[in-house]
Amino acid sequence: ATYLNFYALPLREEAPTLSTTLTCLLCVFEFMLLATYFRAACTHAGHLPATYDGHDTDPLLEGRWCDKCQTYRPERAHHCSICQECILHYDHHCIFINNCVGETNYKFFMLFIFYTPIASIFVCATSWWALPPLHAAVSFDDPQLVNFVFMYIVTAVFGVMVLVLLVMHAWLAGKNLTTIEFLRMQDTDSNPYPYDAGCLNNVEQRFGTAWLTWPLPIKPSVDAHRGG
């Protein structure tokens, strides 16, 4: 709202086309950010199969017993101490979405942390010139200016923080690793990437094989979770 009131909308008199373009782009980015946030927050991270008995033809998928849930869980499933249940392909529990990140909502989580820095970069880059020069005598008696400067700083800092998180998860997805597996990687001498099927195949397991749907907050194709 601060961006629109202080920068985009006042441009309508001087540059109506630019003002409309900036407003539309901001609405698109904000819609995608909110849509992916709600999909990540409201989608269950991954229920255990109701009929799973702890046996699998693949030794890597051989189940383990969870004392807390009193059930077998497949390989790569872990018990979340906050949600108090086992989650398939458990990555971590995210406090920002108040939900676990696992097999069924990992794509939405990735898109959320993708669109967040995109929106932040867009706002900061397009409104940079509106900031007063550092050497100028600025009167902070104008509450709108104070709000704009505060918004700019918070947006830039938060965008950089989430961008770092995005880079980390992009690397993990490329290696077919979860966060918990990455943290435990240093404690074993075995192959650190036992599920690595190549970068493209790894990403398709998370996002599906239909590339055009990757940026959209819709479920991956049915075979997206094959191979671990």
Please return the burial class of 66, using the count of CB atoms within 10 Å of its CB with bins 0-12, 13-18 and 19+. middle
Kindly tell me if the per-residue pLDDT of 47 is higher than 80: yes
Tell me, yes or no, whether 14 and 55 share the same domain.
no
Q: How many angstroms separate the CA atoms of 9 and 5, rounded?
A: 6
The single-letter DSSP state of residue 219 is P
Concatenated DSSP letters for 162-208?
A: HHHHHHHHHHHHHHT--HHHHHHGGG--S-S-TT---HHHHHHHHH-
Tell me, yes or no, whether 176 and 78 share the same domain.
no
Provide the number of structural domains found in the chain. 2
Tell me, yes or no, whether 60 and 164 share the same domain.
no
Among the candidates 88, 119, 151, a domain finishes at: 88
Q: How many angstroms separate the CA atoms of 52 and 148, rounded?
A: 54
Tell me, yes or no, whether 61 and 146 share the same domain.
no
Tell me, yes or no, whether 120 and 146 share the same domain.
yes
Residue 178: how many CA atoms within 13 Å on its side-chain side? 22
Reading the block at residue 39, the tokens are 């999909």
Say whether 83 is catalytic: no
Tell me, yes or no, whether 122 and 182 share the same domain.
yes
Tell me, yes or no, whether 217 and 179 share the same domain.
yes
Q: How many angstroms separate the CA atoms of 192 and 154, rounded?
A: 37
Confidence (pTM): 0.83
Q: Quick check: is 74 in a domain?
A: yes
Among the candidates 56, 88, 120, a domain finishes at: 88
Q: Quick check: is 210 in a domain?
A: yes
Three-point CA angle 156, 161, 165, nearest 5°: 140
Tell me, yes or no, whether 121 and 166 share the same domain.
yes
Which is more confidently placed, 72 or 31? 31
Q: 159 and 124 in contact (C-beta within 8 Å)?
A: yes
Tell me, yes or no, whether 24 and 117 share the same domain.
yes
Q: 206 and 224 in contact (C-beta within 8 Å)?
A: yes
Instruction: Tell me the per-residue pLDDT of 198-219, one tens digit each, with 9 for 90 and over.
Output: 999 999 999 999 999 999 999 9
Tell me, yes or no, whether 153 and 204 share the same domain.
yes
Instruction: Tell me the per-residue pLDDT of 54-75, one tens digit each, with 9 for 90 and over.
Output: 555 444 445 578 888 888 888 8
Q: Quick check: is 198 in a domain?
A: yes
What distance, in Å, lies between the first and last C-alpha atoms of the chain? 43
Average pLDDT over residues 8-30: 76
Q: Quick check: is 96 in a domain?
A: no
Strand partners, 72: 65
Among the candidates 88, 121, 147, a domain finishes at: 88
Q: Quick check: is 221 in a domain?
A: yes
For the ranges 33-42, 73-82, 94-103, 188-197, which has the lowest average pLDDT?
188-197
Instruction: Tell me the per-residue pLDDT of 114-143, one tens digit each, with 9 for 90 and over.
Output: 999 999 998 888 877 666 554 455 566 667
Residue 70's pLDDT is 81
User: Which of 80, 94, 100, 124 is an active site residue?
Assistant: 94
Tell me, yes or no, whether 141 and 68 share the same domain.
no
Domain that holds residue 66: 47-88
Residue 58's pLDDT is 47
Which is more confidently placed, 82 or 53? 82
What are the φ/ψ torsions at residue 156 (nearest 5 degrees)? Answer: -65, -45
Reading the block at residue 24, the tokens are 């539309």
Tell me, yes or no, whether 184 and 121 share the same domain.
yes
